[in-house]
Amino acid sequence: MNTTDAVLFETIDGVTTITLNRPERKNAIDTAMWSTLSEILQEIRNDSSTRVVVLQGAGNAFCAGADVAKSKHQEHPIPRLRRIGDVALALFELPVPVIAKVDGVAAGAGANLALACDLVVASSRARFNQIFVKRGLSIDFGGSWLLPRIVGLQQAKRLALLAETIDVDEAYRLGLVTWIRQPEDLEGFVAELAGRLASLPPIALAQTKSLLNEGVGIDMPAAIRNEAAAQAVNFATEDAPAAFKAFLDRSDPPIYTGRWSVR
């Protein structure tokens, strides 16, 4: 993999942590970082040892968005924007839970980077901004799809059209943030949350995430069909029978493997 010091990642006990590591630029993402993120997400998708992903920024910021200071390119913008869009889609579709750990600013593509995650844990000093129009741009990184589904159309228009900075309390009220913690408690809370998720059945988690993501765009009959198909897959793993047995025996939860076990 073509990793760089600007994007770090490591896997410990099933938890893969991705760190945007340009604190001097508030972790703004340049062209090389987009490519590295794409490669990392592809590797995670193909790595069964990863059970949970934590996405964070180094220093006192989550991500200030795309690095517009380094935006002069010879290349046509369409392929560049396609690569950025591919990262958004790859993150959203990862078959494992993804936690955004947001401390400090999350702006533009950085804000939508957090929204493409499944859960957002923010510090009390976090702030969010759909900065695009103030840069002469329209919303991207999946924000036009994510934002109205999370906060509703009217609030999405307010945030995107006015490019207002909102604090973490308002972000929580709007549903952009799942939990708020003090900065000194952020690391421990996210580690505990990631550990809880990593201990759960991976196939059931992956399918639950997929069902919820797809469910917002389909009718209920289609959702019911998707649920039935997903349960058939769960019944063919070692995890569902082990969970049922532990429940009936009133024993501790088993160690879930996600292994296929057709009977």
Could you tell me if 160 and 211 lie in one domain? Answer: no
Q: Two tokens at 66?
A: 């795309």
pLDDT of residue 243: 94
Contact 163, 136 (CB under 8 A): no
CA 234 to CA 203: how far, in whole Å?
7
For tokens 């392929």, the residue is: 79
Q: Are residues 98 and 210 in the same domain?
A: no
SS3 257: coil
| Cβ–Cβ under 8 Å, residues 44 and 7 | no
Domain match, 168 and 234 both:
no
pLDDT recorded at residue 79: 79
* Structural domain total, the chain: 2
User: Taking Cα atoms as reference points, which of 112, 110, 98 lies closest to residue 58?
Assistant: 110
Which tokens in the block code for residue 188? 């421990």
Q: Are residues 177 and 209 in the same domain?
A: no
pLDDT of residue 74: 64
Claim to verify: residue 105 and residue 85 sit in the same structural domain: yes
Sign (positive or negative) of CA dihedral 258, 259, 260, 263: negative
Q: What pLDDT score does 103 carry?
A: 98
Indicate the length of the chain as a whole number: 263
Q: Residue 95 sits in a domain of what CATH number?
A: 3.90.226.10
What is the predicted pLDDT for the residue at 1? 41
**Same-domain status, 191 and 236:** no
Cα distance between residue 59 and residue 40, in whole Å = 21
Quick check: 130 and 143 in contact, CB under 8 A? yes
- Specify if 193 maps to a domain: yes
Q: Tell me the average confidence (pLDDT) per consecutive run of 10 residues in the chain, 263 residues long.
A: 78 97 96 95 95 97 88 69 91 97 98 98 98 96 97 98 98 98 98 98 97 95 97 94 92 92 73
User: What integer pLDDT is reported at residue 70 of this predicted model?
Assistant: 59
Same domain, 43 and 130: yes
Report if residue 146 sits inside a domain.
yes
d(CA 184, CA 190): 11
Same domain? For 241 and 192 the reply is no
Cβ atoms of residues 57 and 27 within 8 Å: yes
Residues 69, 176, single domain; the answer is: yes
Q: Does residue 254 sit within a domain?
A: no
**Residue 259 forms part of a structural domain:** no
Q: Specify the pLDDT at position 71.
A: 53
SS3 181: strand
pLDDT at 2: 41
Q: Which of 163, 176, 33 is nearest to 115 (CA)?
A: 176
**How much is the pTM?**
0.94
Domain of residue 179, residue span: 7-198
Give the integer Cα–Cα distance in Å for 16 and 40.
Answer: 10
Contacts of 132 (CB under 8 A, 6+ apart): 108, 138, 139, 140, 143, 160, 163
